[in-house]
Amino acid sequence: MTLSGHSITLVLAVQCDFGWLLPELLEMRNETDDAIAELALSRPAVQVDRVILHSVTATRDVPPGELARLNEAHTDWVYRLSVVGDYIPAAARPRVHRLIAGRLPRSVSSVDGIEAQLAGRWEHPHAATAILSLIQTGATTPLISYDIERDGPFGDADPSIYL
């Protein structure tokens, strides 16, 4: 994935489908994560907003073993997003919004995809508006480092030591 164009002024990404958590899409998920981190580091003025699932819920028919694997993949992904965010200067850090299942307004749906604003214009204005609605309607919570368990075997229970 390339997000290197100099005309990019804003990026909105929605990655809420369970498919992002499957082993088959791990490489694509990592490439997306790398492209967004690279953009944040190389072009700090570009605002990046990501929407991911707050948690994996049993909202569809998923066998218990698969649900456990999805939860494990989700926990790992959220941890990595949080840790990588700590290495990006605060002003350039992508904002990660966690979508809370069941809080979506009836008129808004989450459609996975990445929308880039080029020179102040959206290629797909309706998709961008839907993503912005997710963020602005209270259907999400921000990912902050205090939400992530980072205390390892030799760590301090106070997460502020990692900041």
Task: Read off the pLDDT of residues 72-100 as tens digits, 9 standing for 90 and up.
Answer: 999 999 999 998 998 999 999 999 999 88
- pLDDT bin (cut points 50, 70, 90) of residue 112 is confident
* pLDDT of 107: 46
Mean pLDDT of the 134-154 span = 71
Q: Which two tokens stand for residue 134?
A: 């997710």
Mean per-residue pLDDT over the chain, rounded: 82
Among 54, 35, 30, 29, smallest CA distance to 116 is for 35
**What CA–CA distance (Å, rounded) separates 102 from 10?**
27
Say which residue the tokens 């939400």 belong to. 147
Its pTM stands at 0.81
- What lies within 8 Å, CB to CB, of 85 at 6+ separation is 93, 94, 96, 143, 145
Q: Sign of the C-alpha dihedral, residues 79, 80, 86, 89?
A: negative
How much of the chain is helix, strand and coil, in % rounded to 5?
40, 20, 40
pLDDT for the residue 102: 65
Element holding 125 (H helix, E strand):
helix 125-136
> How far apart are the C-alpha atoms of 147 and 96, rounded to whole Å?
12
Is the pLDDT higher at 10 or at 4? 10
